[in-house]
Structure 1
Amino acid sequence: MLLMGASPTPEVAPRSDTQAVEAPAACPNPYFPLEEGLTLTYRAGTSSTFVMSTHGVTPTPEGLRGKLLVKLKDRQGETEATCSAEGMSLGLGGLEGALLSASGMEVQVVSSEGVAVPAPASLVPGGTWKNSLSVKLRPPASKTGGLRPTISTTFDKAATVEGEEDVTVAAGTFKALKVRNVVTARATRPGAEGRSMETTVWLAPGVGIVKLTTADGTGLELLQVERPRPAQAKASTKAKRPLKKAAAADKKPPAEP
């Protein structure tokens, strides 16, 4: 699982010094940048390609709003993304919902608490937060018809920032936060037992997810970061040299009195 939505309840380890430190700006969130035209391409598993991009970014009184588009193989999904002082929120309950939508599943979010990524002030070694997402899922329609049962599932995630380290992927080497996630999936019915899965994700400022691994070794690896090219430079602004005055020999002689 990737990052889900949930309002952070950070339990951040206290600083050992009393020096005042200015909190980083909440928007754009450096660990999930809502940047117009930013496109991140990943290797998913051993051979599939997963692409995530943002577009339609506009300012709001709370921060920023835009669209997050995800593509997996020949399918795609889209969800609204917002940045505020609390962190990054996604319309389909997090990247999980967007990925399920891209896989062809019909996704209905029943409830989603909080943010996909908390405010940067909470993303420090020792910081923790919890997320919760309940969805109803229906498999895609098949050509032969057949039953399409609705599956109600709740995902609970507990995340811990374990520290900061350099991580090397196909796209390069990044100094990133290492975050351990424990996600428990359970059927949304009384007494249902859950099944937990642990993942580790590395988040780099200005990029976001650069790597994700699961217990069985599968996950994501960043292959390429693409940003819109700046507008082509205008014609040289170098000032033109002033025209030289005509040579004295070319001047007309003064008129005779």
Structure 2
Amino acid sequence: MGASPTPEVAPRSDTAAVAAPAACPHPYFPLEDGLKLTYRAGKSSEMVLSTKDVKPAPEGLKGTVAVDLKSRHGETEATCTPEGIRTGLGGLEGTLLSASGMDVQVVSAEGVVVPSPAQMVPGGTWKNSLSVKLQPPASKTGGLRPTIATTFDKEATVVGEEEVTVAAGTFKALKVKNITTARSSRPGAQGRSMESFLWFAPGVGIIKLETAGSTDLELLKVERAEAPKAAAKGGKAVKKAVAVKKDPKG
């Protein structure tokens, strides 16, 4: 009997955290020093999401989340609190904007990016809002750099739990539906709404992003500074808790 191949992933064991949620570290947004997640972004680009400088804080944990995309770099401070995860750039969207080359000035950010683990259950909902001023990157030849004031309002709902296969392996993940409305800060301006889906795997974070039936982000690889002690003790059993292998016997 041949054994199923094990995905090239070494996620931490967060089974206990899911069963009895702990605020920090957050199982679906792990602020883990040295964690590096590599994604396929769009059709062929590669995006790297990394966490560094993680330290205890009165609220729980603080660290820096960085994004590298197409030779551009953006980063923001992230804080894990009993209410959930907060970031200086309002979550993945703001961090991606900072890596796009745009100059991003945060006017206001309300709500958590990811709520407490207790809310990350089927039917759980939350909202957040981010208002920013954007300027295109400076040109070597000069030229105008108009300022664009935009507000992003997001409503998120946990749809349920699914087994999802991406390039990094098969994971037991939470599927979250997002309705994001972008609107100009001009009085009376109408917003445009977009529906997207995110999949979160415990001990890893985002493994997939889908918009309008198209996969915008797919996890390719998980790298860690060192093997977590829990994973080292659990061996293959730990991997099964997060990276689910296909077994015909069930």
TM over 0.5: yes
1:31 equivalent in structure 2: 28
1:184 aligns with 2:172: no
| 2:210 match | 213
Q: Pick from 55, 59, 67 the counterpart of residue 62 of structure 1.
A: 59
Q: Which has the higher helix share?
A: 2
What TM-score comes out, normalization by structure 1 length?
0.80
State the aligned residue count.
Answer: 211
Q: CA deviation at 1:31?
A: 0.4
Per-residue deviation, residues 141-165 of structure 1 (Å, max 9, x unmatched): 1122211100000001111100000
- Name the counterpart of 1:80: 77
Q: For 1:98, what is the secondary structure of its paired residue?
A: helix
Q: CA deviation at 1:216?
A: 5.4
Shift of 1:218: 4.1
C-alpha offsets along residues 214-257 of structure 1, whole Å, 9 cap, x if unaligned? 015141000000011359xxxxxxxxxxxxxxxxxxxxxxxxxx
Residues 147-189 of structure 1, C-alpha deviation per residue, up to 9 Å, x if partnerless?
1100000001111100000000000000000000010000012
Q: Quick one: distance in 1 between partners of 2:176 and 2:213? A: 17
- The answer as to 2:147 corresponding to 1:150 is yes
Instruction: Pick which of 143-152 and 120-129 moved more.
Output: 143-152
Q: Is the 8 A contact 2:112 2:127 kept in 1?
A: no
User: Given that residues 208 and 215 in structure 2 are in contact (C-alpha distance below 8 angstroms), is that contact kept between their aligned partners in structure 1?
Assistant: no
Aligned to 1:123: 120
Greater relative contact order (Cα < 8 A, sep 6+) = 2
What do residues 12-70 of structure 1 show as CA deviations (whole Å, max 9, x unaligned)? xxxxxxxxx97410000000000010000000000001100001100012100011111
Q: Choose which of 211, 215, 229 in structure 1 pairs with 2:226.
A: 229
**SS at the partner of 2:95?**
helix
SS in structure 1 at match of 2:118: helix
| SS of residue in 1 equivalent to 2:33 | coil
Identity score, percent:
73
Range with greater deviation from structure 2 (138-147 or 182-191): 138-147
Aligned to 1:110: 107
* Structure 2: distance between partners of 1:137 and 1:22: 41
SS in structure 1 of the partner of residue 38 of structure 2: strand
In structure 1, the gaps of 5 or more residues are 1-20, 232-257
Which deviates the most, 138-147 or 158-167? 138-147
Q: Which amino acid aligns with 1:119?
A: S
Q: Is 2:101 the partner of 1:138?
A: no
The alignment status of 1:92 with 2:50, answered yes or no, reads no
Deviations 1:73-120 (A, max 9, x none): 101011101100010111112221111111111101111002111000
Query: 1:29 and 1:227 mapped to 2: Cα distance?
Result: 16
Runs (4+) of structure 1 moved beyond 2 Å?
A: none
C-alpha separation between the residues in 1 aligned to 2:174 and 2:213? 21
Give the TM-score normalised by the residue count of structure 2: 0.82
